[in-house]
Amino acid sequence: MSDSSRIFARYWIESAFPFAQAAEVMAGEQSSGTFVRVPGETEELKNRSAARVESIRELEPASAPSLPGARIPKGTSAPVYRRAEVEVSWPLSNLGPSLPNLLATVAGNLFELQQFSGLKLLDVKLPGAFRDKYLGPQFGVSGTRRLAGVERLPLVGTIIKPSVGMDPETTAAMVKQLAEGGIDFIKDDELQCDGPHCPFDGRVEAVMKVINAHADRTGKKVMFAFNLTGEVDEMRRRHDTVLRAGGTCVMASMNSVGLPGMVELRRHSQLPIHAHRNGWGMFDRSPAIGMSYLAYQKFWRLAGVDHMHVNGLRNKFCESDDSVIASARECLTPMFEGEGRGCEIMPVFSSGQWAGQAWDTYARIASMDLIYACGGGIVAHPGGIAAGVRSVRLAWESAASGVAAEDAAQRHIELRQAMEMFGQ
Amino acid sequence: MSDSSRIFARYWIESAFPFAQAAEVMAGEQSSGTFVRVPGETEELKNRSAARVESIRELEPASAPSLPGARIPKGTSAPVYRRAEVEVSWPLSNLGPSLPNLLATVAGNLFELQQFSGLKLLDVKLPGAFRDKYLGPQFGVSGTRRLAGVERLPLVGTIIKPSVGMDPETTAAMVKQLAEGGIDFIKDDELQCDGPHCPFDGRVEAVMKVINAHADRTGKKVMFAFNLTGEVDEMRRRHDTVLRAGGTCVMASMNSVGLPGMVELRRHSQLPIHAHRNGWGMFDRSPAIGMSYLAYQKFWRLAGVDHMHVNGLRNKFCESDDSVIASARECLTPMFEGEGRGCEIMPVFSSGQWAGQAWDTYARIASMDLIYACGGGIVAHPGGIAAGVRSVRLAWESAASGVAAEDAAQRHIELRQAMEMFGQ
């Protein structure tokens, strides 16, 4: 069977069992296994459907089991827990190109297997049949740039804060200040969707009135990602409300919405989908269980999101800078080999961001195809919002033209002020 | 504000910071916080919308941080990581009764906060407004019993194995043996949905032909949970196929389908929804991150599932018996105080189950309102499938009438054989 018809998944495992044996348990559990051999389990069927252990690469050993509940081999008194990367593959014909069933196959029961004191999905590689079935991102980088009217620099963005509690009018008043300050992109907080203090429809109406008036006056339409996270029919209706009001982006929380929910939204949507990954810590915070961003984002890109959060350098969360950069790069890397749709999307830098991280972010990803969202970094800038926006834009301009941060700060007061305020 | 309008969530936390301070960071992140105070954050808004730390109960200290990436308080050279249970509450009016937005609120960004070297959602308590908005289980215990024609004992069930790879005719042939063996309930494996070797429609047709013929002959219609996990439209179409063919149950993988997907299925469904929790290990396997089953199952019960997996005593996975029992009890416990719909559902015992666990399972949950699914425990019984089914039913009969396992085994060869084959 050729590689183009197999699904590959790479895992980090930790086990007191010999790796070959432990990996075969994984492969069995996720394809044709049960705890005793049953009558229907013929050799022919196994040859056709069994998952295959493709490779095992031993890593550093573990001093103790990372997770509780694991078994040790019978007769062992002093178990040694070792770690490895393993690759397992499945025939596509076990499931067909279905994202929900792919999840059950590569990230299902195996996390509970007793043979493992740690098991994490690191990456998946999918046959082109998935690309053929799913719509993927509708706007991606170029469509987002076109709608936002931003050609070369990152979209300079911010998040409406306080996270939740403001009414539509107060929100719109803040949007007015931000628009006048020159912002490209604004998003709802993920906690703000359709609560009684700030109903979705009322917020869209009030905010779009401001954005449309600003666009009429200046020719620049600020992209606002309205958080429509909800049931499928609610999301469709809210999308239509945004579209009718002249809005140019909707936002959904991936883990809240689920893959089929996102697929439905994508089918219906005429706007870019800004995907928020809140709850992501459950999947990736532990090195010993869960799913890496590399694997995670592939599911959602195929489902059709256009922007995906990646935190940012020196963020206020636990994610390391290396992880942030790897995630951002992955969003900009085609998912499939060869010709055609690569499903590239815009990484969204957010969490403790201000002008200061532009230089090393640019140095490390060598791209400006991103959304750079600063909260306090813009609205709490000592020179005001417009100065905050300018500080971020100047930072990226400088970074891209090879002007060092110190030199840029000497030239521009907005950068100097930002560095004094936010640079420790 | 009265308790009936607040959402409560209980967490296990681990932190090197004073608990009161760490808990306030959680509450802030999940309601009105940002990393610097912003203009719109008025006292009035904070009073209305801020999450509240309700209680903090200190637990045993930790010898080392459970997860990497956590910060320690400034100026600390030898940090002490301590653990506690904290309860946080939110005004319902921050979000309204929306499950997807509830998830973003109680299980969102907070898992990534640097103040914590461990953070797990243990339980949620929801205002009645959620019960009013969501349909909840349509069949639950009584509806499932009615459709399956099983009055008092657990539904004795099995899983089609090998997990994946058989064609519709081979599957139907196995169903015939199982039906003739007296089984109450059969489920697809979660890996089997609509792959090219075993298309959903063909499987339903072949299997229901057998089940309907058996029902015509004997009056007993075996309940078969067809795995329809997929996109929203696929699930609706597959449900209709099952319904048209006279089937009495559909199955969906919760983590694959997502909350809005399940809500859509529930709205459309005229059949009980058997909910598979594969991937659950990602949420609960680590004691330091994720979400307990107590919290998890409440989301899905409200969304409308009728059966939910809980593993089983001495299962082949990592879950402890105490955890299994707590989960099963919770499925049978009303979610809301006072009158009205309690959303009770049938726990599904599955994974390494055979007759032998009936006694202590019954002793510990004092209920027979459950599905008891044995794989090898039935199909690999030395006396054949019918003897396997009888062994399980006899075990539960004996347990419920206070007949000890040894005594029952003396009376019934099916139990003796099961104990010799599967005991220890």
pLDDT band at A33; cut points 50, 70, 90: low
Q: Collapse the DSSP code of A158 into the 3-class scheme (helix H, G, I; strand E, B; otherwise coil) and give the result.
A: strand
Element (H, E) at B187: strand B185-187
pLDDT digits (tens, 9 = 90+) for A199-257: 999 999 999 999 999 999 999 999 999 999 999 999 999 999 999 999 999 999 999 99
- pLDDT value for B10: 98
Q: Spell out the alpha helix ranges (H) of B219-253.
A: 232-244
Tokens of B353: 């189950």
- pLDDT value for B413: 98
Please answer yes or no on whether B258 and A258 come within 8 Å at the CB atom. yes
Provide the residue type at B91 as one letter: P
- pLDDT value for B1: 38
Please answer yes or no on whether B289 and A278 come within 8 Å at the CB atom. no
With residues binned 3-state (H G I as helix, E B as strand, rest as coil), the percentages for chain B, rounded to 5, are: 45, 15, 40
Measured CA to CA, the distance from residue B234 to residue A302 in angstroms comes to 17
Measured CA to CA, the distance from residue B256 to residue A121 in angstroms comes to 15
Beta strand segments in A160-222, E:
185-187
Rounded to an integer, what is the distance from CA B109 to the centroid of its chain?
Answer: 24
How, if at all, do strands B82-91 and B6-15 pair? antiparallel
Element (H, E) at B315: none
pLDDT digits (tens, 9 = 90+) for A144-176: 999 999 999 999 999 998 888 899 999 999 999
- pLDDT value for A161: 86
Q: Which of B45, B191, B234 to mutate to test the interface with A (most CBs of A within 10 A)?
A: B191
DSSP letter at A317 equals B
pLDDT band at A1; cut points 50, 70, 90: very low
- pLDDT value for A127: 95
Measure B87 CA to nearest chain A CA, in Å.
18
Q: Spell out the alpha helix ranges (H) of B50-139.
A: 99-106, 129-133
> What is the dihedral sign for C-alpha A281, A286, A287, A291?
negative
Measured CA to CA, the distance from residue B223 to residue B161 in angstroms comes to 17
User: Average pLDDT in the A101-118 region?
Assistant: 97
- pLDDT value for B271: 98
Q: Which of A70, A256, A379 sits opposite B103 (nearest CB)?
A: A256
Nearest CA in chain A to B255: A258
Measured CA to CA, the distance from residue A137 to residue A144 in angstroms comes to 11
Q: Collapse the DSSP code of B259 into the 3-class scheme (helix H, G, I; strand E, B; otherwise coil) and give the result.
A: helix
Total number of residues shown for chain A: 424
User: Average pLDDT in the A108-117 region?
Assistant: 96
Please answer yes or no on whether B34 and A107 come within 8 Å at the CB atom. no
Q: Which of B95, B112, B160, B293 to mutate to test the interface with A (most CBs of A within 10 A)?
A: B112
Measured CA to CA, the distance from residue B22 to residue B14 in angstroms comes to 9
Q: Which of A269, A235, A244 is nearest to A137 (CA)?
A: A269
What domains sit in chain B, N to C, each tagged with a CATH number?
A: 3-133 (3.30.70.150), 140-422 (3.20.20.110)
* pLDDT mean values, one per 10 residues, chain B (424 residues): 80 96 92 62 82 96 94 92 97 96 97 97 96 96 97 97 90 97 97 95 98 98 98 98 98 98 98 98 97 97 98 94 97 83 90 96 97 94 97 98 97 97 88
The pair phi, psi for residue A91, each rounded to 5°, is: -70, 135
Which residues in chain B are contacts of A311 at CB distance < 8 A? Answer: 112
- pLDDT value for A164: 87
Q: Collapse the DSSP code of B306 into the 3-class scheme (helix H, G, I; strand E, B; otherwise coil) and give the result.
A: coil
Q: Collapse the DSSP code of A354 into the 3-class scheme (helix H, G, I; strand E, B; otherwise coil) and give the result.
A: coil
